[in-house]
A and B are shown apart, each in its own frame.
Chain A
Amino acid sequence: MPKHRRPPASAPEKTALRLGFMPLSDCAPLIIAYEKGFFTAEGLDVELCRETSWAAIRDKVGLGILDGAQMLASMPLTSRLGIGGPRFNFISAMVLDLNGNAITLSHELYQHLAAVDPHSANCPAAAAAALRSLIRLRKPSQPRLRFGTVYPCSPQSFELRYWLACGGIDPDRDVEIVVVPPPKMVSAMSDGNIDGFCVGEPWNTLAVQQRLGDVVASKYQLWNNSPEKVFAVTEDWAARNPNSHQALLRALLRACVWLDHAAHRQQCARIISQAAYIALPEDTVALSLRGYSQKHHAERPQYQPDFHVFHRYSANFPWLSHSDWYIAQLYRWQLLSEPLNLEDTASAIFKPDLYRQAAAALGIDCPKIDRKSEGNLHEKMLMPNSTQLGPNRFIDGTIIPVGGTLQYLEQLKLAANALDTLRQINPEQRLGNQ
């Protein structure tokens, strides 16, 4: 963080704040902001509340029981639209982390995949194609394979669907997707209730360490550096407490900067693995935080320095193009049929200007634009140690330029009449033949 003289911040309207988090590795920004005194330094007296479900976080923030919380990156959007639950007017001015999830299959299912195509071990697309072959060989009398995710319309749900679809599998017809609480995911696999899951860390590592599962894809491999959790509050709360909101954003931003130093990751694991937070062995939590992904029990963990990204690549910036992608996935999977104006929807929920204000107070550079193309940056195209933008490829090579969401939906064969309506209310979007 550059050294600078900070102008005095306006006094927070509310100082005693209750913030919710889920026991996952990427709750780290909240825990670190608390443990390292970043909240206190902003004059905030924060109580961290460990929650047991995303629905509880949603309802408690929405009803004012919590002031704010760590949320799934898609949750402010889906809640605003009333998809997968009741309507709440959440806003988010900050992304907490990128990447961090993985898709794990039961060891038995994975062995079948590896027998079909040995490349399944390290190639997510090959694993998905092998899975499609296995599904086609199954008898009609056999129950569908069952996959766990953590919440309807969650990033995990979209990632699982994306991976299945890239192998030619229809997530709604060829398999069954159920919701399992993250801490129950490994035991559900052990009990034979699910054949695979998509979840955040440390639950994938735990499944591999217990020889129950094998990781076939990481979130990074599906869409490099895509948003995972955000910090969200209600629109009303933000309007009533603008200074408290800025103070929270600054404290969380300082925590994210601290977390992105590789040298701090083991210490982070020591802190967040405590009983009050994740309550798992430090080594289990530390593995992915230190940038290692253990995909198979018999193999050494692979070094993936971007497995968890907390700050670099402008990670904390609430890109409106990320909102566009989630809206596109909602249309893709028929979870949304009502035509929306993408610009109005995204800008009502994600607040780049509030982020810029907090970043400026800390002397942190941030993007001047609100949207960026997705899928167009390969690792090899970037300068070494680039911090402004990271790779953003999709597993299937899709590129979505700014203003190209409808074009993307056209490629996905969204119904023509739905596209026509969308074009009419999104005149700024590129037409399909451009």
Chain B
Amino acid sequence: MKLLLIDLDTAAVERLNAVLSGAGIHCRSLSGEHCDLYRELQHWPADIILSCIDSPHRDTLEHFAHSHANSPQTIIELGGRSSESIARLASELQLSLYAINSLRDSLLQALLDTIICQLRSLDQLKTEMAAARFTLEQRNHTQQAVSYIVDKFALRPQQAEELLRKNAHLQRRSIEEVAEGLLAGGELAAMAT
């Protein structure tokens, strides 16, 4: 089965490729901006298309679907009823689904579940990573400051950490702030040893 991904970001493409290839789905990614979509759709006849809902090339895709009845058609409902998965795909992931008519609704539902699960978890991970970035950077600064003190004053790591803690207490600042100041260079002289 061939799945064409149009105007999806790289991380989403990699994630879907990694997961769906294991189920026998061959993914291909395209940027609508840099190709003749009509030609690509004819040369690589996909069974399913997943397009960014905001791709400016959606209308071209619609035209191709309209003029080629055997090509993937826009899917808005499953089993003749409105689908929560389709709505989530559009509203939460900004994606639109196209599929050839002969595919079973159960297959599409399973595919939607996988896509939503994978991309939602990817989105969640990205959000969490963004939130954790500051904490990780601070931790990194502290480790670098400890290494610096170990080298500079020939102390053991535990002693260097204690020194940072003591300075933080004296300066009424956090250990991370003291570490950052130390690395910036301006507060080295003020370090109470």
Q: Which chain A residues border B90 with CB–CB below 8 Å?
A: 59-60, 63, 65
Q: Is A181 part of the binding interface, using a Cβ–Cβ cutoff of 8 Å?
A: yes
Q: Is B12 part of the binding interface, using a Cβ–Cβ cutoff of 8 Å?
A: no
B87 touches A151 (CB 8 A): no
Q: Which single member of B62, B77, B91 contacts A55 (CB below 8 Å)?
A: B62
Q: Please, how many residues of chain B have a CB less than 8 angstroms from a CB on the other chain?
A: 26
A59 touches B76 (CB 8 A): yes
Q: Which chain B residues border A183 with CB–CB below 8 Å?
A: 56
Query: Which interface residue of B38, B62, B75, B76 has the most chain A CB atoms within 10 A?
Result: B62
- A53 vs B96: C-alpha distance when bound (angstroms): 12
Known: A59-B76, A86-B76, A178-B38. A53 touches B87 (CB 8 A): no
- A273 vs B75: C-alpha distance when bound (angstroms): 35
Cβ proximity bits B89-125 to A, threshold 8 Å, 1 near / 0 not: 0110000100000000000000000000000000000
B66 touches A84 (CB 8 A): yes
Q: Is B42 part of the binding interface, using a Cβ–Cβ cutoff of 8 Å?
A: no
Closest Cβ of chain A to B38, distance in Å, is: 6
Q: Is A281 part of the binding interface, using a Cβ–Cβ cutoff of 8 Å?
A: no
Q: Which single member of B58, B74, B75, B96 contacts A52 (CB below 8 Å)?
A: B58
Q: Is B67 part of the binding interface, using a Cβ–Cβ cutoff of 8 Å?
A: yes
Q: Which single member of A51, A65, A181 contacts B60 (CB below 8 Å)?
A: A181
Q: Is B57 part of the binding interface, using a Cβ–Cβ cutoff of 8 Å?
A: yes
Q: Is A12 part of the binding interface, using a Cβ–Cβ cutoff of 8 Å?
A: no
- A55 vs B37: C-alpha distance when bound (angstroms): 16
Q: Is A118 part of the binding interface, using a Cβ–Cβ cutoff of 8 Å?
A: no
Q: Is B54 part of the binding interface, using a Cβ–Cβ cutoff of 8 Å?
A: yes
- A56 vs B76: C-alpha distance when bound (angstroms): 12
Q: Is A152 part of the binding interface, using a Cβ–Cβ cutoff of 8 Å?
A: yes
Q: Which chain B residues border A184 with CB–CB below 8 Å?
A: 56
Q: Is A318 part of the binding interface, using a Cβ–Cβ cutoff of 8 Å?
A: no
- A64 vs B84: C-alpha distance when bound (angstroms): 12
Q: Which single member of A52, A84, A178 contacts B55 (CB below 8 Å)?
A: A52
B36 touches A53 (CB 8 A): no
Q: Is A210 part of the binding interface, using a Cβ–Cβ cutoff of 8 Å?
A: no
Q: Which single member of A53, A59, A64, A84 contacts B57 (CB below 8 Å)?
A: A53
Known: A59-B76, A63-B91. A151 touches B59 (CB 8 A): yes
Residue of A whose beta carbon sits closest to that of B91:
A65
A151 touches B54 (CB 8 A): no
Closest Cβ of chain A to B189, distance in Å, is: 50
- A181 vs B96: C-alpha distance when bound (angstroms): 17
Q: Is A180 part of the binding interface, using a Cβ–Cβ cutoff of 8 Å?
A: yes
Chain A: interface secondary structure? Answer: loop
Known: A151-B63, A152-B66. A59 touches B36 (CB 8 A): no
Query: Which interface residue of B66, B86, B91, B96 has the most chain A CB atoms within 10 A?
Result: B66
Number of A-B contacts (CB under 8 A): 81
Known: A152-B66, A183-B56. A55 touches B87 (CB 8 A): no
Residue of A whose beta carbon sits closest to that of B53:
A56
B74 touches A53 (CB 8 A): no
- A394 vs B137: C-alpha distance when bound (angstroms): 69
Q: Is A88 part of the binding interface, using a Cβ–Cβ cutoff of 8 Å?
A: yes
Q: Which single member of B53, B57, B60, B66 contacts A85 (CB below 8 Å)?
A: B66
Q: Which chain A residues border B58 with CB–CB below 8 Å?
A: 52-56
Known: A65-B90, A86-B74. A59 touches B53 (CB 8 A): yes
Q: Is B61 part of the binding interface, using a Cβ–Cβ cutoff of 8 Å?
A: yes
Q: Is A150 part of the binding interface, using a Cβ–Cβ cutoff of 8 Å?
A: yes
Q: Is A425 part of the binding interface, using a Cβ–Cβ cutoff of 8 Å?
A: no
- A63 vs B36: C-alpha distance when bound (angstroms): 29
Known: A85-B74, A86-B76. A60 touches B53 (CB 8 A): yes
Residue of A whose beta carbon sits closest to that of B88:
A63
A84 touches B62 (CB 8 A): yes
Q: Which chain B residues border A83 with CB–CB below 8 Å?
A: 66
CB interface residues, A 98-120, toward B, < 8 Å: none
A181 touches B57 (CB 8 A): yes
Cβ proximity bits A58-72 to B, threshold 8 Å, 1 near / 0 not: 011011110000000
- A422 vs B76: C-alpha distance when bound (angstroms): 30
Closest Cβ of chain A to B32, distance in Å, is: 9
Residue of A whose beta carbon sits closest to that of B89:
A63
- A416 vs B172: C-alpha distance when bound (angstroms): 92
- A153 vs B38: C-alpha distance when bound (angstroms): 18
- A88 vs B82: C-alpha distance when bound (angstroms): 11
- A86 vs B82: C-alpha distance when bound (angstroms): 12
- A56 vs B57: C-alpha distance when bound (angstroms): 10
Residue of B whose beta carbon sits closest to that of A149:
B63
Q: Which chain A residues border B36 with CB–CB below 8 Å?
A: 193
Cβ proximity bits B23-57 to A, threshold 8 Å, 1 near / 0 not: 00000000000001010000000000000011111
Q: A59-B74, A150-B59, A179-B59 are in contact. List 10 more A-B contacts (CB 8 A).
A: A51-B54, A52-B55, A53-B58, A53-B62, A59-B90, A86-B74, A86-B75, A151-B62, A151-B63, A181-B60
Query: A residues near B, CB below 8 A?
Result: 51-56, 59-60, 62-65, 83-88, 150-153, 178-181, 183-184, 193
Query: B residues near A, CB below 8 A?
Result: 36, 38, 53-63, 65-67, 73-77, 86-87, 90-91, 96
Q: Can you list 12 A-B pairs with a CB-CB distance of less than 8 A?
A: A53-B56, A53-B57, A53-B58, A53-B59, A55-B59, A55-B61, A55-B74, A56-B53, A60-B90, A84-B62, A181-B56, A181-B57
Closest 7 interchain pairs by CB?
A179-B63, A53-B58, A86-B76, A55-B58, A181-B56, A52-B56, A152-B66
